[in-house]
Amino acid sequence: MLLTTSGRLLLNTFHRLPYALLPEFSRALGVPLANLQFWVGIRSILSLLAPFLRWIPQSVGRRATLVWCLLILAISTGWFGLMPAMFTFVAVMMIEVLVKIVYDPQVMTHIAERTPYHRRGLMLSINELAWSGAMLLGIPLATWLIAITGNWLAPFWMLLILLVLVAMGLAYVLPSQHVGKHLEAPPSANAWSILFRNRNALLGLAVGLLISFANEALNLTYAGWLKSEFNLPLVQLGMSGLVIGLAELLGEGGVAGLSDRIGKRRAVIVGCVSSAVAYTLLPRMSGNVMGAQVGLFLAYLTFEFALVASIPLISEIEPSARDLMIAVYAAILYVGRVLSIPLANQLPNLGMLGIVIVAAVCNVLAVVCLSFIPKQGITPSA
């Protein structure tokens, strides 16, 4: 698990790096910032392919899939490092997303298949530390490397070396073929049929859609809101990233400590209710910069708790199509993010109060969906 999680840490660092260093990349490549923003944003549309790429591990096995995912990204990174240009930058960003949407669901399925349900919340939340770890460890290390070397490509060479090392480790420790100890993967068409006939599965997907919609609306508006409310300089706006990273870390840690004890479904409900409250309180805490940052911290903490707690829940709703269920869930999270863009664009008209009210309502609707998922529809301990 250490190696598979390390692989996710590297992929997440690669994924979040452009957001943190986009102005530097724009300067180095000699292209307008708006051009890079467009391509970094549009790359995520590839996430919709996640459910349709499950034939890869079914064809070549999980070990080969995970190893080659990391090696393909390493090779692509080397190509970009040797030929830095706008075209290669866009290409490697697209390749990273394709690698991530294959690698991540397979790692989650790998952990879910090997972990009893009563301990799955702990193990999957530990794996999710790779997301906050990218913000708290990967990004600071990348910026430090640029500072000491004066070379904006230094983080990419660091990632290349680490990707190869982790791939070698996975090739050594993972079994050559693995389809699960107890369950064989059903034929693809049958898996889709099983999934979409399951009411609990559809309700679970609706939960992911709603909470991701709410969070992305905040993602797209909080910087503009802070800038307009407090006229913060860029450096102070950047500190919000640290606040968010710490909130994500504590949210993931909270799932590790609580979800298996109180039950996965109950943990997601607690997260959604807490998120609704945090979103509603955010404008009321904006009297000063510190209050606004605390409000953001609470909003991201509760969202991350709800999201990470939902993963073990999703993993057991339809065990006979677990890999497909996880892949579709990953894709539906992206759909929620895309659907939130029109709402975020209404910030000048609605104000932050209007945005967070919609976000809070989405979390209440998620709780309603969860209430229709019976405990016995998952497992007696859910």
- pLDDT value, residue 232: 64
Q: Give 187-231 pLDDT, tens digit per residue.
A: 456 767 777 888 888 999 999 999 999 988 887 677 667 767 777
Fold match, 2-173 / 189-377: yes
In this prediction the pTM is: 0.74
**What is residue 186's DSSP assignment?**
P
Q: Give 21-56 pLDDT, tens digit per residue.
A: 777 788 888 888 767 767 776 777 787 787 777 778
Q: For domain 2-173, is the CATH number 1.20.1250.20? A: yes
Q: Give 275-313 pLDDT, tens digit per residue.
A: 999 999 988 887 788 888 888 899 989 999 999 888 888
Those residues with Cβ within 8 angstroms of residue 368's Cβ, 6 or more apart along the chain or in another chain: none
CA–chain centroid gap for 59, Å, is 26
Those residues with Cβ within 8 angstroms of residue 161's Cβ, 6 or more apart along the chain or in another chain: none
Helix (H) or strand (E) holding 58: helix 55-60
> How far is residue 89's CA from residue 175's CA, in Å, rounded to a whole number?
34
Contact indicator for 367, 272 with CB cutoff of 8 Å: yes
Q: Give 56-98 pLDDT, tens digit per residue.
A: 876 777 788 888 999 999 999 999 999 999 999 999 989 998 9
> What are the domain boundaries of the chain?
2-173, 189-377
Q: Which of 61, 63, 77 is nearest to 164 (CA)?
A: 77
CATH class of 189-377: mainly alpha
DSSP notation for 193-243: HHHHT-HHHHHHHHHHHHHHHHHHHHHTTHHHHHHHHH---HHHHHHHHHH
**What is residue 52's DSSP assignment?**
G
